Chain A
């Protein structure tokens, strides 16, 4: 099973700042890493696929990078509506797995 380790677990950020979340895979997964945003009392929403590909309708301030085993989600110019928990997910092999999540709080 591929284990995904996210850091940090929690981040408190001022609007306008940049947020960086990392996801490390226990083995190389190429680019089969995806990011989701989950707001309170909602289901997860796909943000980025294949490590860096944008999803239609997602604001351009969200971007992803990385390959192999190290990946990053960046949120530029954080807005209040970005308060959420962010998860990475790998589709390289079964069982499909998720990272533990990073909760982003707005100061």
Chain B
């Protein structure tokens, strides 16, 4: 069974960088079959796809966040990470990591529990 667990600080100061890591078990981040994704959720905007990474070094980003965003993979640790720079209060959200299964129609078939990140001084 695939399991994803995110980790990182729950509080980030405005203008700083939000950094989260997702640890994958039951699968491999080097798999050619899946895209490793970040999604965030807020009461106001609902679910927002942030981006995903494919085959270790092929990231795809939401254009609305692309200028501030980096998604990368640490293969030795079976982890992938999110770095969102210059954050504001609008970046406060529950952040999920998820596996995107392109072969199964382009669906998110496994999700992490989600981590609440608040941007505040």
Interface range on chain B (Cβ under 8 Å from partner): 20 to 34
Q: Is B26 an interface residue (CB 8 A)?
A: no
Contact assessment for B107 and A34 in the assembled complex, using a CB-CB cutoff below 8 Å = yes
Task: Identify the B interface with A (CB < 8 A).
Answer: 46-49, 60, 62-64, 96, 98, 102, 104-109, 111-114
Of A15-23, A42-50, A69-77, the one touching chain B? A42-50
Closest to B106 in A: A91
CA distance A53 to B114 in the complex (A): 27
CA distance A46 to B101 in the complex (A): 11
Q: Is A59 an interface residue (CB 8 A)?
A: no
15 further contact pairs, Cβ within 8 A, besides A44-B96, A46-B109? A34-B107, A42-B113, A43-B98, A43-B113, A43-B114, A49-B105, A87-B46, A87-B47, A91-B102, A91-B105, A91-B106, A95-B62, A96-B106, A97-B49, A98-B46
Contact assessment for B105 and A43 in the assembled complex, using a CB-CB cutoff below 8 Å = no
CA distance A24 to B106 in the complex (A): 18
Contact assessment for A43 and B112 in the assembled complex, using a CB-CB cutoff below 8 Å = yes
The main secondary structure of chain A at its interface with chain B is loop
Contact assessment for A43 and B107 in the assembled complex, using a CB-CB cutoff below 8 Å = no
Q: Which residues of A contact B109 (CB under 8 A)?
A: 46
Interface centre among A45, A50, A96, A100 (most CB of B within 10 A): A96
Q: Which residues of A contact B62 (CB under 8 A)?
A: 94-95
